[in-house]
Amino acid sequence: MPYIELKTTVSISPEKSQSLKAAFGKAIECFPGKSESWLMVNISGNQDMYFKGDNKTDCAMVSVDLLGKVSSSASEKMTSVLCGVLSEELSLAPDRIYVKYAGFSDWGWNGGNF
């Protein structure tokens, strides 16, 4: 039940969106027991974002939500992978990317909770 949301100032083509979705599907495996089979992804490009007081340089915010606790070692690995993907796919500098994690004990689906 993971969810990854990317918001960035960079314009993202449909082909690039598919490439990012596939990379996120592999990256979620940094968390034991998580896979693309339950992953939901939201990718939003062309966002009006400010980082360090300006909007002159592209940036991104990635949110990763999980059912259960977030392991520090897994999130450390995931941050490295995500920054690498965004650097390669969107030419974003890793120091212009924030990644946040949240773990939830209750997660609903199909009319009930897991």
pTM: 0.95
Q: Which two tokens stand for residue 19?
A: 């490439």
pLDDT band at 101 (very low <50, low <70, confident <90, very high): very high
The stretch 1-13 carries a mean pLDDT of: 97
Residue 1 has pLDDT above 90, yes or no: no
Confidence of residue 81 (pLDDT cuts 50, 70, 90): very high
Residues contacting 36, CB < 8 A, separation 6+: 24, 25, 26, 28, 29
Structure tokens at 2: 């993971």
Average pLDDT over the chain, rounded to whole? 97
pLDDT range class, residue 7, cuts 50, 70, 90: very high
| Residue 98, helix vs strand vs coil | strand
Q: Give the integer Cα–Cα distance in Å for 68 and 104.
A: 5
44: Cβ–Cβ under 8 A, 6 or more apart, which residues? 5, 6, 7, 8
